[in-house]
Amino acid sequence: MIEFKGLSKIFPQTGAGLGTISTVIESGEWVTLLGPSGCGKTTLLKLVAGLEDETSGEIRSPFQKNEMSFVFQESALLPWKTVAQNIVLPLTLRGVDEKVALEKARPWVQKLRIERFMQSKPHELSGGLKMRVSLARALITEPKLLLLDEPFAALDEPIRIELGMELRELWKTLRPTILMVTHSITEGLWLCDRALIFQGQPGKVVLDQKMDLGMDRPLSLRGDAHFLSTVEACFNLLKGES
């Protein structure tokens, strides 16, 4: 599990950032972080990844850097490399032979349906395809911790929904711990086991919401009355209503 003990990260120039947070993320749990821009959601991911230093408090995490994958809002693909080379990069950087790495990538390439684009360059791909490549690159190492920072933000709604369902299926197979930032309340609650709702600058957790919706998350669930009432409650909280 990951434990946050009085953790905070305040940026002195603005006073914004992440306010004090103390909670535990269980192993294999999918946690969505919801809240307005500037409340510290991405900062929390960077703290977990070791990309930022905390102002106070501590993180206790069992995960080593080689057990984590970070999927950014932008696909961050290397433009001079092919799709195949981008996907296997985390393994080739560790000294794995490219042919061996490509074989290891095959299941994820098939599941994400990007086989016919393997020799393409990133500029030849749509936004949705770039994100599939980015996800394949993140999953090739079979991470124990997956950090997702608005991974679907630039995509059209049908593609967002499709990739969300695919990622949920992959999560059921690998069962990594997932921390996901999104500005879509519906998307975030639909995919996760638990949601942390942030408010303020610096941001603080104002609601810790379990989502007991079962392992399978069909699209029809988004129209369920109980689910919609939870979405509405989170929406009201995020716009400052009690």
pLDDT tens by residue, 165-200:
888 988 998 899 999 999 999 999 999 999 999 998
Please tell me whether residues 181 and 231 are part of one structural domain.
yes
Is 56 inside a domain boundary? no
Confidence of residue 240 (pLDDT cuts 50, 70, 90): low
Is 170 inside a domain boundary? yes
User: How long is the chain?
Assistant: 242
Q: Could you give the angle at the alpha carbon of 220 between the alpha carbons of 219 and 222, nearest 5°?
A: 80
- How far is Cα 16 from Cα 10, in angstroms, rounded to an integer? 6
Is 168 inside a domain boundary? yes
Confidence of residue 49 (pLDDT cuts 50, 70, 90): very high
Please tell me whether residues 171 and 213 are part of one structural domain.
yes
Please tell me whether residues 192 and 135 are part of one structural domain.
no
Is 57 inside a domain boundary? no
Domain count, the chain: 2
* Residue 97 neighbours by CB under 8 Å, 6+ apart: none
pLDDT tens by residue, 11-47:
988 878 899 999 999 999 999 999 988 899 999 999 9
Q: What is the pLDDT of residue 241?
A: 45
Specify the pTM: 0.90
pLDDT tens by residue, 125-139:
988 889 889 989 998
Which residue, 73, 108, 143, sits at the end of a domain?
143
Whether residue 105 contacts residue 136, with contact meaning beta carbons closer than 8 Å, is answered with: yes
Please tell me whether residues 46 and 166 are part of one structural domain.
yes
**Structure tokens belonging to residue 38:** 């500037």
**Structure tokens belonging to residue 28:** 């294999």
Task: Provide the CATH number for the domain around residue 163.
Answer: 3.40.50.300
Is 58 inside a domain boundary? no
Strand runs labelled E in 26-74: 30-34, 56-60, 68-71
Give the structural domain span for 191.
Answer: 1-50+146-242
Which residue, 103, 126, 143, sits at the end of a domain?
143
Q: What is the pLDDT of residue 174?
A: 85
Please tell me whether residues 91 and 106 are part of one structural domain.
yes
Which residue, 112, 143, 174, sits at the end of a domain?
143
Residue 97 has pLDDT above 90, yes or no: yes
pLDDT tens by residue, 199-227:
988 999 999 999 999 999 999 999 999 99
Please tell me whether residues 40 and 153 are part of one structural domain.
yes
Is 136 inside a domain boundary? yes
- How far is Cα 226 from Cα 212, in angstroms, rounded to an integer? 11
